[in-house]
Structure 1
Amino acid sequence: MLHDVDPPHTHWQLKSPIHAHYINTLLKYYPQASIIMPHRCLNEVIPSACSLFLSLLSHYFNEDDIPNLKIMLGQMIPKFIDITIDRIFEFNSRESSRKNVFNIQYKDLITDPIGTVHRIYDHFHFLQWSNEFEKAMRLWLIENPQGKQGRHSYSLNEFHLETQMNKQLYKDYEKLFLST
């Protein structure tokens, strides 16, 4: 449907974790889709997601309600993450998923963006690497250093998450996607 309404000039970028819930549906309609799945330490992901939802929802609450909203988000977001991880595991367990998905570690993207993007291009053979492309990336990275727009700070403690971070599911996820 999206393709018919607004065909992309190059490619689509779907950048929300919610897309992990529907990879099977996406590939049903777009079997040649190339999916880059960045993975990040969950003790960073979960409070970040809580903070994002707090910024979206806090406008609808009184200041006095914010502490309770943080507690609620600290209970709800891990449940959402659990479902997301289950869907990723289920999808990743199928041999056919290997050709469509390239898993990367977020820290690699931050510490070696050029090398990480080069590995993505090597994986998806239809993408063409060029010196011009690399030069443009290097220039963009110089002009847009991390933190240029400010830093987003959050913590496990802020959302009462300390006790929820020791799940076996999280250990399995990090072992599969984050161990080097």
Structure 2
Amino acid sequence: MASVLFAVLTFLVRFFRYSLNTLDPWLRYINIRLVSTPSTVEELLEKVRSRFGSLPALASNRDWRERVQNALDALKGKETTPFGRLLAREKLITQIRTLECFETIPRRFSNVLTVPIDRPIFILGLPRTGTTILFHLLVRYPHVAHLNTIRSQLADLRPQDVAQATSIDDLCRRFCTTSKQVKYTFDILLASGCGLPHNIHPASTTFPEECVLVLSNYLFYTNYPYICGEDFTDVVKDYRDLARQAYRFFRRDLQVIKSIGQLSGSRFVLKAPYHSCFIEEILDVFPDASFVRLHRDPVSVVSSSSSFFRAIRAPFSTGDDWKKIGKGCQKMTRCIARELAKETRREAEHTLDFKFEEIAKDPIGVCREIANKVGLEHTKAVEDDLTAFLAEDARKREQAGKHKHTLAEFGLDAEEIRNDCTDYCKKFGV
């Protein structure tokens, strides 16, 4: 019965998406818009205030407001479908509500701020360098904590849940109820073609999730490339102060998630490509952090990233401007590679570098070396678990089909990409 209901709801979402995208352009000719988005930050914040009654403190930050305005402006583009605008609008509102939840819970339960976040392990690198598979492997070690979609979606807590909770345990129980709703909604969206293609990047509410889900709330990088098709990142331009503030909040957010998400692990493994641009800011907040950096030929990175973003943008896009996607990925790669190539003021407690070929050839050997360096317990039971996971992952990827891509289909030039990343290639030998 449950599977039938799920199939019906999935069909309805697909039908709704198709109908909305088909009808809206025609109705606009007679000044009827089925999906509208606020034009200004003030309009959006007023919508949030009227819905929830209050705003997060970050709403007064000038840089953050500029990022929100950039996101709203991007949604006006002709390439964005009505369904894409609808999802993006609701996502923005959810992000603002989430910020308030992260602020309110520590005020309500001050002991949350005493939860330790000791010796976190950050996985860094350009996109498509093996960071995801390494992430999935490291979180299988004992005493390791990680984020996932359910634990990160605090916005689905109702305001009265936080206000009425009598203890952290009571809040955890309330959160478990909303988590079930999050999972059901997320799974329906994935099944209706609004999520990631599984042969490129697996997605699930219970899978280990990148920090992007939490960091995107602070909007210090562009986080709607799959919807609006704009430049993928201007991640380091003029936003250092906002990044410093965001990472200070990020530590608090991890304390909140660890408290109400009932995480058993004592050390976080954290992963997102954008961490690579903020090594100094991370060390300011997490001075005992360890970094694991993965490296790959930038030409392969740009080609694979372009194919990846083309796949996840397909349900939201009205056109096939793949060259624009390619140039956006080239810009993103250049930006992150430039930051990785810089010399930092100080080193992390441990910094380990591996090439894509190393983790592709011997992922368990790489994990063993990392564990020995950063103090994770690598036992035979762990190794057997990693072996079983890799076998199952290989089976799923073979079943889903190979991820094929070339530079030519995105209008890209290999020599130009390497010239963009000369310092990075020399420093890491790729």
Residue 120 of structure 1 and its aligned partner are, at CA, apart by 1.0
The secondary structure found in structure 1 opposite 2:310 is helix
Partner residue of 1:78 out of 313, 330, 334: 330
1:171 to partner: Cα distance? 3.7
2:417 to 160, 165, 173: 165
Equivalent residue runs for 1:1-20 within 5 Å: 1-7=252-258, 8-10=263-265, 11-20=267-276
Which position in structure 1 is the counterpart of 2:387? 138
Look up the match of 1:38: 294
CA drift of 1:123 comes to: 2.1
Tell me the residue number matched to 1:177. 428
Indicate which of 150, 155, 161 corresponds to 2:401.
150
TM superposition score normalised by structure 1: 0.82
Q: How many residues align?
A: 171
* Cα RMSD after superposing both structures: 2.2
Aligned equivalents of 1:54, 1:13: Cα separation in 2: 28
**SS of 1:102 mapped into structure 2:** strand
| Separation in 2, partners of 1:48, 1:94 | 28
Name the SS for the 1:6 alignment partner. helix
Aligned equivalents of 1:138 and 1:20: distance in 2? 28
C-alpha distance in structure 1 between counterparts of 2:409 and 2:268, whole Å: 35
Q: Counterpart of 1:89?
A: 341
Match of 1:26 among 262, 276, 282: 282
Deviation at 1:79, TM superposition (A): 1.6
1:105 is matched with 355
The residue identity in structure 2 corresponding to 1:134 is: E
Give per-residue Cα distances to partners, 1:123-175, cap 9 Å, x unaligned.
21x212211111211222223227334321111111111252241x4343233
Identity of aligned residues (%): 22
Distance 1:13 1:48, change over 3 A: farther
Gaps of 5+ in 2: 1-251
Larger CA Rg, structure 1 vs 2: 2
Q: TM-score with structure 2 length normalisation?
A: 0.37
| CA–CA separation in structure 1 for the residues paired with 2:385 and 2:357 | 21
Pick closer, same or farther for the CA change 1:30–1:166 going to 2, 3 Å.
closer
Native 8 Å contact 2:291 2:348 kept in 1: no
